[in-house]
């Protein structure tokens, strides 16, 4: 689950300003289960914006979970339960797994149930002065950060969770990357002779370390930058999961220097290597022909 | 007679892609003009699914092609009714259809241009014979996947009345189905209902109808930018769409 992707709707002033929606609104304690053919999402929506809590408790606003899958052209919204005075509500929904594939995006919205006149959001961007807004029914009042469900990407052919794969490139003296491969991995395309060297020296720890620094580090830095591109690459999901698990703050404004530092830190961590990156390292040790 | 469906392996997709990108241009064009498919037997994975696959029609004139597309869409979607959207978003299946089962149809319906421009040839083949990208838009460009996806996105409780609307005015496909809001089934249903109600203004041939469709799509997009359009009931959507249609008709009488 990745909570670092920012929101869709800025600069829609009703939501507040770029850094705050006038309080906290997010999906906490999430549990996502895949059982037989159903994917269920349960958790708690928590809001600290008093104006919004009041509107929700009085029935003038309500929260929805919103799921969208680019691969299967699926999009739907699910209503949450009644809000408590403490600003919490339970959310649960289930979706047939045959409707989703790859990265499905999940976000939460608080919306007006009816037209609201003279709505004044907390933390309104100073640019708008003391503006008040007349809102239409179903107008969006708050947006949570999004996260992604990773639905098994290739049902027909199994693919492990490795992000990178070394492969034979077509250029004689050049290493390049392929981000849109059919296997959903990031291809580090090396000249055929280099691929043989990697294979022959794969048991040399020093060489392995050099390989990581020379080949994987720049590719990972570039991949971190591409996380915010509109392209729906399959490798984004496991990479986002790592970033989320590590609690790394990253957004679309990140520059290449920053992604390079993040990549360096990620590659240093043993616990990362122990799961997804271990598979990646196995790919290095056993490159494709 | 039922046919076992197939899928092209990763290795096969990769080989096709490098053949297209790095192979001799003349050899690429020749391979996509006649003769047997360039897929190797070992690159085909036989799937458990089977279906009675229809023969796909193709005509020479653009007007007849629209009619053919409509018939092909309905027949193919009906015969592959058990295919789930998740399965239908696999690239391998559609590349099997375009390069193996419907190879002859593809050569006739989507002839590769005689060109010496490598980029043009690459774009054409990767869009119509392969799948370029990972979203629905990419699948709608593929010569066979488009038929299934048009059927899937326009079918309504077993009725294909909306399919005709969709294919008659292909701007609808690009203006609605390829945008985020067109992914919601209720929004699609109401859109099609409204198109049918106002078919004279929105579905007639000619530039005016196309301009109106584009204007309406823009308005729906704008409408949904600050509202959660998925939270509207069907009744509310009908009413809001009617208002937008009236606005469009006032501006584009």
pLDDT digits (tens, 9 = 90+) for A174-224: 888 888 876 677 888 888 777 777 766 766 777 777 777 888 888 889 998
**Per-residue model confidence as pLDDT tens digits over A55-93:** 999 999 999 999 998 888 899 999 998 888 888 999 999
pLDDT recorded at residue A5: 36
Rounded to a whole number of angstroms, the distance from the CA of A255 to the nearest CA of chain B is 25
Residues of B in contact with A121 (CB under 8 A): none
Query: B133, A102: Cβ pair inside 8 Å?
Result: no
- Using CA atoms, how far apart are residues B202 and B103, in angstroms rounded to an integer? 35
CB A86 within 8 A of CB A57: no
* pLDDT score of A3: 32
Question: For B127-172, what is each residue's pLDDT tens digit?
Answer: 999 998 777 788 989 999 999 999 999 898 889 988 888 887 767 7
Q: CA-to-CA distance for B231 and B244, rounded, in angstroms? A: 18
pLDDT for position B207: 83
Write out pLDDT tens, residues A212-258: 788 888 888 999 888 888 777 777 877 877 787 777 888 777 788 88
**Collapsed DSSP state (helix, strand, coil) of residue A218:** helix
Q: Is B213 exposed, middle or buried (0-12, 13-18, 19+ CB in 10 A)?
A: buried
* Inter-chain residue contact B85 with A234, CB threshold 8 Å: no
- Quickly list H helices, chain A: 50-57, 192-200, 205-211, 217-226, 236-246, 256-268, 270-274, 276-285
Q: A183 contacts in B (CB within 8 Å)?
A: 10, 14
Rounded Cα gap, residues B40 and A49, in angstroms: 61
> Nearest-CA residue of chain B relative to A98?
B86
Average pLDDT, integer, range A2-28? 61
Q: How many CB pairs under 8 A join A and B?
A: 119
Across the interface, whether the CB atoms of A75 and B183 are under 8 A apart is answered yes
| pLDDT bracket for residue A22 (50, 70, 90) | low
A11, A39, A156, A157, best to mutate vs chain B, most B CBs in 10 Å: A156
């Amino acid at each position: 689950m990745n909570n670092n992707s920012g929101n869709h709707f800025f600069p829609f002033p009703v939501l507040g300003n770029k850094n705050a929606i006038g309080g906290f609104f997010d999906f906490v304690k999430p549990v996502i289960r895949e059982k037989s053919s159903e994917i269920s999402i349960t958790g708690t929506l928590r809001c600290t914006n008093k104006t919004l809590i009041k509107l929700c408790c009085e029935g003038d606003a309500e929260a929805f979970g919103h799921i969208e899958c680019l691969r299967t052209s699926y999009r739907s919204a699910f209503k949450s339960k009644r809000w408590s005075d403490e600003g919490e509500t339970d959310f649960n929904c289930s979706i047939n797994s045959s409707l989703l594939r790859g990265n499905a995006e999940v976000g939460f919205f608080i919306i007006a149930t009816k037209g609201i006149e003279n709505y004044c959001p907390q933390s309104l961007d100073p640019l708008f002065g003391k503006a008040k807004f007349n809102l239409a029914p179903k107008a969006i009042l708050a947006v949570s950060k999004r996260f992604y469900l990773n639905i098994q990407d290739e049902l027909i052919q199994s693919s492990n969770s490795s992000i990178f794969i070394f492969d034979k490139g077509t250029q004689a003296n050049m290493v390049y990357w392929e981000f849109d491969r059919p296997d959903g991995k990031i291809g580090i395309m090396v000249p055929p002779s280099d691929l043989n060297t990697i294979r022959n020296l794969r048991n040399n720890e020093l060489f392995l370390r050099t390989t990581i620094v020379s080949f994987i580090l720049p590719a990972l830095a570039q991949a971190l930058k591409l996380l915010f591109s509109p392209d729906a690459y399959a490798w984004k999901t496991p990479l986002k999961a790592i970033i989320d698990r590590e609690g790394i703050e990253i957004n679309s404004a990140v520059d290449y220097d920053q992604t390079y530092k993040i990549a360096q830190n990620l590659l240093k961590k043993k616990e990362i290597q122990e799961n997804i990156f271990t598979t990646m390292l196995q790919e290095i040790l056993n490159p494709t022909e | 007679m039922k046919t076992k469906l197939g899928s092209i392996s990763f290795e096969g997709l990769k080989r096709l892609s490098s053949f297209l990108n790095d192979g001799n241009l003349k050899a690429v064009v020749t391979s996509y003009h006649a003769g047997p498919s360039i897929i190797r037997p070992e690159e085909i994975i036989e799937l458990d699914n089977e279906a009675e696959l229809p023969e796909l029609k193709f005509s020479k004139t653009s007007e007849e092609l629209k009619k053919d597309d409509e018939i092909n869409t309905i027949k193919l979607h009906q015969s592959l009714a058990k295919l789930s959207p998740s399965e239908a978003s696999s690239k391998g299946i559609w590349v099997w259809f375009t390069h193996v089962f419907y190879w002859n149809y593809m050569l006739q319906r989507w002839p590769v241009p005689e060109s010496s421009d490598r980029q043009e040839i690459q774009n054409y083949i990767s869009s119509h014979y392969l799948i370029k990208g990972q979203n629905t838009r990419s699948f709608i460009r593929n010569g066979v996947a488009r038929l299934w996806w048009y059927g899937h996105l326009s079918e309504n409780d077993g009725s294909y009345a909306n399919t005709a609307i969709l294919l008659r005015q292909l701007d609808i496909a690009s203006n609605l189905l390829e945008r985020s809001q067109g992914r919601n089934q209720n929004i699609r249903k109401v859109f099609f209902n409204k198109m049918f109600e106002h078919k004279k203004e929105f579905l007639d041939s000619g530039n005016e109808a196309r301009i109106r469709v584009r204007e309406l799509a823009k308005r729906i997009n704008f409408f949904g930018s600050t509202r959660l359009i998925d939270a509207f009931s069907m009744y509310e959507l009908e009413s809001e769409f009617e208002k937008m249609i009236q606005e469009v008709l006032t501006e584009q009488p």
